[in-house]
Amino acid sequence: MHAAKDETSNRHAAKLAVLTRQAAWHIEQTDAAAQKVEQAVAEFAEATAQRLPFP
């Protein structure tokens, strides 16, 4: 009976490890996408500033 509890604990620990890795991956992907958006906004702002005189 004790072995069954250990097996369940091990499965839960393994599942938590997988979910943790998945969460980290998604955070990294979101961060990479946000950096691309920030770069695009900066480029747009620079292009706009070059075309329009600032009052």
Q: What is the DSSP string of 1-55?
A: -HHHHHHHHHHHHHHHHHHHHHHHHHHHHHHHHHHHHHHHHHHHHHHHHHHS---
User: Would you say residue 36 has pLDDT above 80?
Assistant: yes
Residue identified by tokens 């009052």 is 55
Point out the least confidently predicted range of 13-17, 41-45, 46-50. Answer: 46-50
pTM for this entry = 0.69
Q: 41-46: list long-range contacts, CB under 8 Å, 24+ apart.
A: none
User: Would you say residue 55 has pLDDT above 80?
Assistant: no
Mean pLDDT to the nearest integer, 32-54: 90
Percent of the chain with pLDDT over 90: 75
